[in-house]
């Protein structure tokens, strides 16, 4: 991040939210990004819990 400043596909979702809210003053898009991040994290967590649950039953 230090050398590329988040360009060339190295930007993370949290940095994108930060950039939209604080640098661009676009609070709506930053809020939508935050909701998207929470939904994505929940989907990943549910998927991982199902995998771990199957391994524990076996």
Q: What percent of the chain has pLDDT over 90?
A: 21
For the stretch 30-58, pLDDT in tens is: 888 889 889 999 999 999 999 888 777 65
pLDDT attached to residue 7: 65
The dihedrals phi and psi of 11, each to the nearest 5 degrees, come to -80, 130
CA distance 13 to 54: 30
Task: State the chain's maximal CA–CA distance in angstroms.
Answer: 51
Average pLDDT over residues 10-26: 79
Residue 27: how many other CB atoms lie within 10 Å:
11
- Give the residue extent of every domain in the chain: 13-57
Residue of 10, 3, 28, 30 whose CA lies nearest to 19: 30
**pTM over cut 0.95:** no
Average pLDDT over residues 3-25: 74
Place of tokens 């199957």: 54
């Amino acid at each position: 991040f230090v050398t590329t400043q988040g360009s060339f596909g190295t930007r993370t979702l949290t940095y994108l939210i930060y950039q939209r809210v604080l640098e661009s003053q676009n609070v709506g898009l930053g809020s939508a990004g935050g909701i998207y991040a929470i939904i994505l994290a929940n989907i990943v967590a549910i998927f991982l819990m199902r995998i771990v649950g199957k391994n524990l039953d076996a």
